[in-house]
Structure 1
Amino acid sequence: MKLIIGAMHEELQDSIAFYKLNKVENEKFTIYKNEEIMFCITGIGLVNAAAQLSYILSKYDIDSIINIGTSGGCDKELKQGDILIIDKIYNSVADATAFGYAYGQVPRMPKYYETSNKDIIKTISKAKIKNIASSDIFIHSTEQVKNFINKIEDKISVLDMECFAYAQTAYLFEKEFSVIKIISDVIGEKNTNNVQFNDFIKIAGKEILEILKKIL
């Protein structure tokens, strides 16, 4: 069974309706499924993301995981509405450099996580391939990018608050993990952020459905 996982209901509600999924859990975790696919809304933040994905992988038979949703950008080459396939995933606030680890690396864990995107890249030809960094900080200023993101020894273009937790959990459970993001705004680029987020997320939800139709 494939698992589609995201932070916000608004991002996935059109897809949940289209695939006519049944809500199977709603007490602690919001989970929808049919015989072939499962959707989970984890909520925002690294702990929520890791806890809920761990719960699902412990209880259900999941073959592969796709995280899809909206994210902010910190790359001037991007614009609102761009579709991205994520390659590498970093933690933007992990700092164990005093012990010889790279900035962004959790001790005794990989420096970053790579995604399983070969089939998706073939299907979504217009997507750009970029790297993402996650933390529990809502990064929204160029100063924060300088303080947290630019310390990573790689080019980071995308920011969110869940992806790293999904990736590390998938790694520990030895599951294939892919990530697709739609850029909601770009830090410091006012001219590219034409649609306010509350309106943009509705547009993005429809785009997410069209993407999922191609890859599921």
Structure 2
Amino acid sequence: MIYISTAMYIEAQEIIKRLGLKRDNSINKFEVFKNDEVTLIITGVGKVKSAVALTYLLSRQEITQNDLYINFGVCGTKDKQIEQGEVFLCSKITDNDTKFTYYSDLLFKHPFKEGSIETFSKVANEGESDELLVDMEASSLYQAASVFFKPHQIMFIKVVSDYQSTENIDRDFVLKVVEKNIHRVIEWINYIKDNFIKSRQVLTQAEEELIKKVSENLKMSATMENEFRQLMIYHKLLDNDITELIDIYLKIECKSKNEGKMHLAELKRRIIK
């Protein structure tokens, strides 16, 4: 299952329509739309509202290692050279209030630009952030999602709507900005859904045992092992032989998790180019 949250209905409107999502009337505290493969919730604007809504939704589900979470919505930027409607995938999220920083591990190939985002408790004006993008939900959503998902299962897709000015942005303008590149977002969501969410049977029993052995050799944590397994699924779905790829790691026995983390990073660079 892919879980998606947006702060406002206007941000979700095209996703709901294009993915054929239907209102879940069994949930009356929030607007939730779903089909057999995607569940979307409208959280409301702001850190507290969004975290409460997402936690409410996810706590009712059985989240697995094959599920993903995506936050989608508009954001501001300080860079006036960036065109309104441009889509970014955010790997670094900073909370303006606490100054804590969180990272999403971008495991999947994507067609978007990458950028960092800072989350404010109020509308951020020009000059208030050192990061490229700003919004009002990402940091709290990351904290809520991380209770249920590993970092490689959490993604933030943001559409630039404004340049951190005091200019009022109405619903029609937000819809116009979202519609500009929503087809690229939908195509990517469908790609992820078709190629990775349905990947439970991709690995053979022998390959699962091989992955387990390498994980032990590299002293991987549970999070590292989950990421390693997803990398192997990704590699195999591209019609590659994972046995040949990781055979070298069967001969390595790490002395620490940090050593194993370096090998995992090297392996990731070899797969995702």
RMSD: 2.3
Which of 173, 179, 189 lines up with 1:215 in the alignment?
189
Q: Give me the whole-angstrom Cα distance separating, in 1, the residues matched to 2:91 and 2:47.
A: 19
Q: What is the identity, as a one-letter code, of the residue corresponding to 2:8? A: M
| 8 Å Cα contact 2:68/2:149 also seen in 1 | no
Instruction: Give the structure with higher Rg (CA).
Output: 2
Match of 1:203 in 2: 176
The structure whose residues are more often helix, as a share, is: 2
Which of 110, 118, 121 lines up with 1:133 in the alignment?
118
What is the CA deviation profile of residues 50-92 of structure 1, one whole-angstrom value per residue up to 9, with x for unaligned ones?
1111111110234210111111112344232221111100101
Match of 1:69 in 2: 73
* Structure 1 outlier segments of 4+, above 6 Å: none
| 8 Å Cα contact 1:69/1:208 also seen in 2 | no
Q: Give me the whole-angstrom Cα distance separating, in 2, the residues matched to 1:134 and 1:209.
A: 26
Cα displacement (A) at 1:48: 0.8
What is the CA deviation profile of residues 102-140 of structure 1, one whole-angstrom value per residue up to 9, with x for unaligned ones?
xx02xxxxxx11113231xx231xx22110011221112
What is the CA deviation profile of residues 147-196 of structure 1, one whole-angstrom value per residue up to 9, with x for unaligned ones?
xx34xxxxx111111111110112222342101111001136x9xx9x96
SS of the residue aligned with 2:82?
coil
Q: What is the identity, as a one-letter code, of the residue corresponding to 2:140? A: A
Q: Give me the whole-angstrom Cα distance separating, in 2, the residues matched to 1:139 and 1:196.
A: 14
| 8 Å Cα contact 2:6/2:72 also seen in 1 | yes
Q: Give me the whole-angstrom Cα distance separating, in 1, the residues matched to 2:40 and 2:182.
A: 13
Q: Give the TM-score of the pair, scaled to structure 1.
A: 0.76
Alignment gaps of 5+ in structure 1: 95-103, 106-111, 151-155
| 8 Å Cα contact 1:81/1:184 also seen in 2 | yes
Q: Give me the whole-angstrom Cα distance separating, in 2, the residues matched to 1:197 and 1:115.
A: 30
| 8 Å Cα contact 2:33/2:39 also seen in 1 | yes
Q: Give the TM-score of the pair, scaled to structure 2.
A: 0.61
Q: Does 1:17 align with 2:2?
A: no
The structure whose residues are more often strand, as a share, is: 1
Match of 1:115 in 2: 104
SS of the residue aligned with 1:59?
coil
Which of 153, 168, 187 lines up with 2:164 in the alignment?
187
| 8 Å Cα contact 1:78/1:186 also seen in 2 | no
Match of 1:161 in 2: 136
What is the CA deviation profile of residues 14-47 of structure 1, one whole-angstrom value per residue up to 9, with x for unaligned ones?
2212222121145211111111111111010111
Q: Give me the whole-angstrom Cα distance separating, in 1, the residues matched to 2:105 and 2:6.
A: 17
SS of the residue aligned with 2:36?
coil
Distance change (3 Å), C-alpha of 1:138 and 1:187 = closer
| 8 Å Cα contact 2:126/2:163 also seen in 1 | no
Distance change (3 Å), C-alpha of 1:115 and 1:92 = same
- Bigger relative contact order, structure 1 or 2, given CA contacts below 8 A and separation 6+? 1
Q: What is the identity, as a one-letter code, of the residue corresponding to 1:9? A: Y
Percent identity between the two aligned chains: 30
Alignment gaps of 5+ in structure 2: 191-273
Distance change (3 Å), C-alpha of 1:209 and 1:29 = farther
